[in-house]
Amino acid sequence: MRSKLVESLDNIALTLGFALTFGIMISAEFREQIGTVMEVVIGWLPQILPFHMVLFVLAAVTGLYASLIQKYTMDWDFLREQQVKMRSFQAQMRAAQLAGDKAKQQQLSQQQMDMMGDQGKMMKMQFKPMAYIGIVSIPLFMWAYLYIGEHQILFNFPFWGPHDINSQVLGPIFYWFYWYFICSIPVSQMIRKALDIGGME
């Protein structure tokens, strides 16, 4: 009974995550609706914090949530094992190619075919958390996107000076997203270190 309930909740969460992901990709109205709903939830933040700190808080929240999801939905022992296998395979294949050992290369090619199933499982395992993460990160991003679109906000970047955060740094990358990304890297690394997540080398 418990396992069925967990499976049902898992399916609901995955469906919601994918629905949010595809919804924002195809509908501007949907993006605006999510941002409007989130305004009720976190619209008070800019009233008590400078907006660059608001983005830092969002980076911290999404970093913590994403790290927890990855910690408890991914089999890190399996991923490490696959990484070791892949390194060993690549080393053996390189040695066989340098030695001109055709028989060994053929044997390793067959081994590679056998490894495809594990590689597919690994990709699925890494893809699944993205749906869970989207449940929190997408609404937060849509709120930020909507709020920034309705307010003119200047950031004083080191070495760059003041810039409208809704203008573009390079290509499709906006200043606000660049700042969010810069904040999220150290926060995520500290959280992952504290939770002992990954450790793959």
**Residue 133 CA neighbour count, 13 Å, CB half:** 19
pLDDT computed for residue 42 by the predictor: 92
Indicate the residue type of 161: G
pLDDT at 125 over 90: no
- What backbone phi and psi angles, to 5 degrees, belong to 148? -65, -35
Q: Is 168 helix (H, G, I), strand (E, B) or coil?
A: strand
Indicate the residue type of 52: H
Higher-confidence residue of 9 and 137: namely 137
Evaluate whether 66 touches 131 at the Cβ level (below 8 Å). Answer: no
Summarize the confidence of residues 54-76 as an average pLDDT.
85
- CA–CA separation, 145 and 131 (whole Å): 20
Spatial CB neighbours of 68, under 8 Å, sequence gap ≥ 6: 195
- CA–CA separation, 12 and 200 (whole Å): 30
Convert 17-34 to b/e letters by CB count within 10 Å (16 or more is b).
Answer: beebbebbeeeeebbeeb
**pLDDT band at 174; cut points 50, 70, 90:** confident
The token pair that represents 58 in the structure block: 């969002």
pLDDT at 103 over 90: no
What average pLDDT does the chain have?
Answer: 80
Higher-confidence residue of 29 and 120: namely 29
* Per-residue model confidence as pLDDT tens digits over 129-164: 777 888 888 899 889 988 988 888 888 777 777 888
Evaluate whether 138 touches 24 at the Cβ level (below 8 Å). Answer: yes
**pLDDT band at 188; cut points 50, 70, 90:** confident
pTM for this one? 0.72
Residues counted in the chain: 201
- Rounded to the nearest 5 percent, the helix, strand and coil shares of the chain are 80, 5, 15
Evaluate whether 78 touches 122 at the Cβ level (below 8 Å). Answer: yes
